[in-house]
Amino acid sequence: MTDQGTQQGTVLQGLIWPEAGLCTERDLYMRLSDRAAMSQRDHEIYFLKGGQASFNTYYNLFNVGKWSKNCNLRTLSLALEGEGTFELIVFLVQPERSWERLANEVVTLTPGRPLSVRLDTPHGFDSRGVAFFELRALDDAGGRLRAASWQTADAPARTPELMLSITTFRREAAVARTVARFEAFLSRSALADHLHLTVVDNGQSAAIPVSDHVTLVPNENLGGSGGFARGLLEAQNRGASHCLFMDDDAAVHMEAIERTWMFLAYATDPKTAVAGAVSNAQHRWQLWENGALFDKVCQPQHIGLDLRDFGQVLQLEFDSTATQPHNFYGGWWYFAFPVAEVTHMPFPFFVRGDDVSFSLVHDFNIVTLPGVISYQDEDFSVKESPLTVYLDLRSHMAHHLALSSMEIGRKGLAGIMLRFYLRSLLSCHYETLEAVALALEDVQAGPGYFAGNADVAARRKQIGALTVAERWKPEESEAAQRGRGRGWLSPHRRLSRAFMKITLNGHLLPGFRLIGNRIVLPAAARGQIRPIWGAMDIAYVSIDGKRSYTVRHSKRRAVQVSLPILRSMWRIWRGYDGLRETWRSGYETLTARQFWQARLGAETGQGAQAEAPVSAAATGESAA
């Protein structure tokens, strides 16, 4: 049934428009024929007669299935604002079914009088399906569309008091822009009274203006873990019902915050959380992840998907509507969750793994929403370094040791260690292997080590000093010229790859430096094994071609760095049972509110510099 009128309901989702400085890939927002045009500045679409606009796009389709499944959606309408006469079609697309037309009507839009089109289906709304609308101008004079929104007459389950928490460290310009965007957004948002932004300043250098909607909290630099732990304490102290962790550059459309708030307001399960997707600056149409799974390694979901392709977006939305497994997690570039359901604070990893652990230890109902996506301005591949590998290995092992739901046994843990070891050995990243050895030492030391070294200052300094060859440097002219390949050692030949695997990519082959290949790879290939088979000299070049580094085969270095790693792996294997129990008891202590209150001095508001008096007995120093 389709009814037209001017009655307005509660806006669940409005249009999101391209935004300069964030994303201007128009096909992510709308698809226009050659007789329709968009004003990015005015947020209007202009139509000549016959001009068409379709909103079957990542940002502006409406996932009816997610709203039905998680919010018990019963009534739905589409509100339009503009002028002119149009053919309006509202499609409902469900997997393995013919598309349905929820509406196919001629409508006339009058300035100042929003038109509401009620949308009903005879069988209600299924738990899988998306809706979108199309307009075709019929008037000789054309027409305009100024706004559109999906609305409901249903009552919300709650009124969220949402506190946004941003952790920043010496990114003064980025966080200042974020605060300015947030204040501008609140000036036009109907939800302003239910939103507050807290900036946790780990660098104690962000001179941002505070207001009724913005609070600045100086904090000791304990990384993302300490910053977001402080933000969570602030949310609890403010009486916020929900907390939203965000990056300091907050590279999201602010309207995504409204979508998140509304979904949390209508969710029938009080444990519902919203995880934002992420893309990157190089290809803003390409998805990096829409949430991820953790099982020995991080597994981004839907990586590489083209958000301009409606077929791929449909599959993304259908797949992500399903109930997520227990090892699903959301990154802290955008993660909104109910404060009352928090049973554990972040673990003091500093960075890398804190968001994974936080999701895994809680029984959140994590949902992703179309259009709720963050853009990362830095090339992900360039971020990998000896330090990040060190941090990743520590957290990967800790998740499986500390959380009973992630138990994989000593064989599974050995597989993680071997993967990190071989990945760097085969590609001649010997400095990274030194960092791997340090990570294994930390894990053996138990949670007590993390309590006493929450700032990772000593390890950061140590790893920084040992990182010489693997440090990104201005591109050397020789890097792109020294490629040399021998056909019989080509990674594209099956027999060649098999031979290289048997010899650990030449590490067991005498004279390999005389016959191995010299290759040049893009930064994105760092960590990939297939391209490096048969190579003894590997140059990695950043995506902009301005930075590079080179690693070279060395049997002596391989033996030097391998021995301490293999010794640590044997100790962890032998003492696995004790180490696991140590981690489980220590994890509980270090994710308690009391630990972070004492560590941060949050009760006194002084951003305490002194460490909490945590004993080895309380955190369980390892006997492994």
* pLDDT, position 190: 94
Q: What is the pLDDT of residues 212-246, one digit of tens each?
A: 999 999 999 999 999 999 999 999 999 999 999 99
> Is 100:57 a contact under the CB 8 Å cutoff?
no
The region, left, alpha or beta by phi > 0 then psi within -120 to 50, assigned to residue 371 is left
Q: How far apart are CA 529 and CA 533, in angstroms?
A: 7
Tell me the average pLDDT of the chain. Answer: 91
Q: How far apart are CA 446 and CA 112, in angstroms?
A: 65
Q: How far apart are CA 570 and CA 78, in angstroms?
A: 63
Q: What is the pLDDT of residues 304-319, one digit of tens each?
A: 999 999 999 999 999 9
Beta bridge partners of 70: none
* pLDDT, position 617: 34
SS3 (DSSP) at 187: coil
Q: How far apart are CA 281 and CA 380, in angstroms?
A: 10
Q: Could you give the C-alpha distances from 104 to 4, 92, 218, 361, 608, in angstroms and in order?
A: 12, 12, 56, 47, 63
- Size (the chain), residues: 624
Q: What are phi and psi of 535, to 5 degrees?
A: -100, 135
* pLDDT, position 543: 81
Helices then strands, each counted (H, E), the chain = 17, 28
Q: Could you give the C-alpha distances from 59 to 24, 56, 104, 307, in angstroms and in order?
A: 12, 9, 22, 9
Kindly report the pTM of this predicted structure.
0.91
* pLDDT, position 6: 58
Query: Mean pLDDT, to the nearest integer, of 273-291?
Result: 92
Query: Mean pLDDT, to the nearest integer, of 133-157?
Result: 97
Cα angle, residue 402 at apex, residues 399 and 404 outer, rounded to 5° = 95
- Asked if residue 621 has pLDDT above 80, the reply is no
- Asked if residue 492 has pLDDT above 90, the reply is no
* pLDDT, position 483: 59
Q: Give the chain's radius of gyration (CA, Å).
A: 27
When mean pLDDT is compared across 73-87, 342-356, 431-445, 516-530, the lowest value belongs to 516-530
> Is 23:136 a contact under the CB 8 Å cutoff?
no
Query: Mean pLDDT, to the nearest integer, of 344-364?
Result: 96
Q: How far apart are CA 522 and CA 542, in angstroms?
A: 6
Run of H or E residues at 107: strand 100-109
Run of H or E residues at 598: helix 593-600
Q: How far apart are CA 180 and CA 174, in angstroms?
A: 10
Assigned token pair, 566: 């293999």
Q: How far apart are CA 75 and CA 28, in angstroms?
A: 27
Q: Could you give the C-alpha distances from 503 to 495, 500, 508, 511, 527, in angstroms and in order?
A: 12, 5, 5, 12, 19
488 band by pLDDT with thresholds 50, 70 and 90 = low
> Is 521:540 a contact under the CB 8 Å cutoff?
yes
Helix spans in 343-468 (H): 354-361, 386-402, 409-426, 430-445, 447-452, 457-466
Q: How far apart are CA 278 and CA 290, in angstroms?
A: 7
Helix spans in 59-151 (H): 64-71
3-state DSSP of 279-297: EECCCCCEEEECCEEEECE
Q: How far apart are CA 198 and CA 178, in angstroms?
A: 12
**Eight-state DSSP code of residue 546:** S
The region, left, alpha or beta by phi > 0 then psi within -120 to 50, assigned to residue 409 is left
One-letter amino acid of 94:
Q
Look-up: residue for tokens 């928490």?
165
Beta bridge partners of 62: 131
Run of H or E residues at 149: strand 143-152
Beta bridge partners of 151: 11, 77
**Going from the N-terminus, what domains does the chain have, and what CATH number goes with each?**
10-152 (2.60.120), 162-279+307-378 (3.90.550.60), 386-558 (no CATH)
User: In percent, how much of the chain has pLDDT > 70?
Assistant: 92
Helix spans in 170-278 (H): 172-186, 223-238, 255-266
Cα–Cα nearest to 459, from 472, 475, 441, 444: 441
Number of Cβ atoms within 10 Å of the Cβ of 329? 24
Q: How far apart are CA 144 and CA 622, in angstroms?
A: 68
Query: Mean pLDDT, to the nearest integer, of 262-283?
Result: 94
- Asked if residue 612 has pLDDT above 50, the reply is no
Q: What is the pLDDT of residues 391-431, one digit of tens each?
A: 999 999 999 999 999 999 999 999 999 999 999 999 999 99
* pLDDT, position 226: 96
- Asked if residue 113 has pLDDT above 50, the reply is yes
The region, left, alpha or beta by phi > 0 then psi within -120 to 50, assigned to residue 304 is left
Assigned token pair, 227: 């910053």
